[in-house]
Structure 1
Amino acid sequence: MGPSEEHTRPDGIDDLTVEALGNISEALEAVEIARGHLYAFHRLSGTADFTLGRGVQQLREAGHGDLADRFERELVGRNVLDGRWTFQIVEEYDDGYYALFKSLEASARDELVGGRRHLYEAELKEARRTHGRPGHEAEPGDD
């Protein structure tokens, strides 16, 4: 058997259109990875601030109050960018660039290929798999 209808290009769609949508999808995948790194940055920055707070408290308990005060005044709870904690950076990215990218990519697929995803990759799979061999099925459950 071959790929499902959702992974088959509609009639009349040329190679360049499928390739263009494939590149846009690949770019979106890179944006998804960047977003993951942004969330990791958010989590790591928060962890650092709370761990710093514990260290500052330990400095205070060890009798280094002046140094603890300086850390507390200048660094604990500080914005990482002008006026922003990391959650604000994540929200701005999600609501702006990320949301627009997702919307435009979906609109392009809807307009050009009826919303079908990963056509380029599906065609690569079909071209590269060994038809009739176990482990090379087009879809789950194919014999």
Structure 2
Amino acid sequence: MADEPLPEHQPPPGVDTRTIEAVGLVTEALETTERARGYLYSFHQLTGSADLKLGEAVDKLHDAGHHDLAEEIEREIVGRNVIPGRWTFQIMEAYDDTYWGPFREMEQRVRDKLTEGRRHLYEAQMKEDRRTHGHRHHTAVPD
């Protein structure tokens, strides 16, 4: 078997380097939003965990006889919106529907229109440029 990339990691005929670079940047930008979305999920889960812990703390304050303070925390903080009208799950849903989902669709549309839907062509070209051809740890594809 020849030591070359699979067809899905080779540019379609007639696709130039500048197009591959541009599509690669669109994909890289989407990857960055994927990371941002992960941070939002962390925010969502951490905030939810903090609210549950605070609920436990309220129970302990009640058990210790600090009813006024426990009730104040429960009334003012436990279950509170993190931004007006929204808990974190609503922020996630709005992000997904307003930004992340349409961004994913656009990135797919760009790849479909310009590179026959092929993914990571920029990286595949980089791998070809950087690997040592003929070296057993630098093969184009797995054995």
- TM-score, normalised by the number of residues in structure 2: 0.97
> How much identity, in percent, do the aligned residues show?
56
Query: Among 62, 65, 77, which residue is 1:63 paired with?
Result: 65
Which of 25, 28, 35 lines up with 1:26 in the alignment?
Answer: 28
- Aligned Cα RMSD in Å? 0.6
1:87-120 deviations in Å (ceiling 9; x for gaps): 0111111112000100000000001111000000
C-alpha displacement of 1:11: 1.1
**Any residues of structure 2 matched to 1:1-143 within 5 Å, and which?**
1-141=3-143
1:7-64 per-position Cα deviation (integer Å, ceiling 9, x unaligned): 0001111111100011111111110000000001000000000000000110111010
Counterpart-to-counterpart distance in 2, 1:113 and 1:22: 10
**Secondary structure at the counterpart of residue 33 of structure 1:** helix
Could you list the runs of 5+ residues in structure 2 that have no partner in the other structure? none
* Equivalent residues, number: 141
Structure 1 moving runs of 4+ over 2 Å: none
**Structure 1: gaps of 5 or more residues:** none
Supply the AA of the counterpart residue of 2:35. I
Q: Is the partner of 2:65 in helix, strand or coil?
A: coil
Report SS of the residue matched to 2:61.
Answer: helix
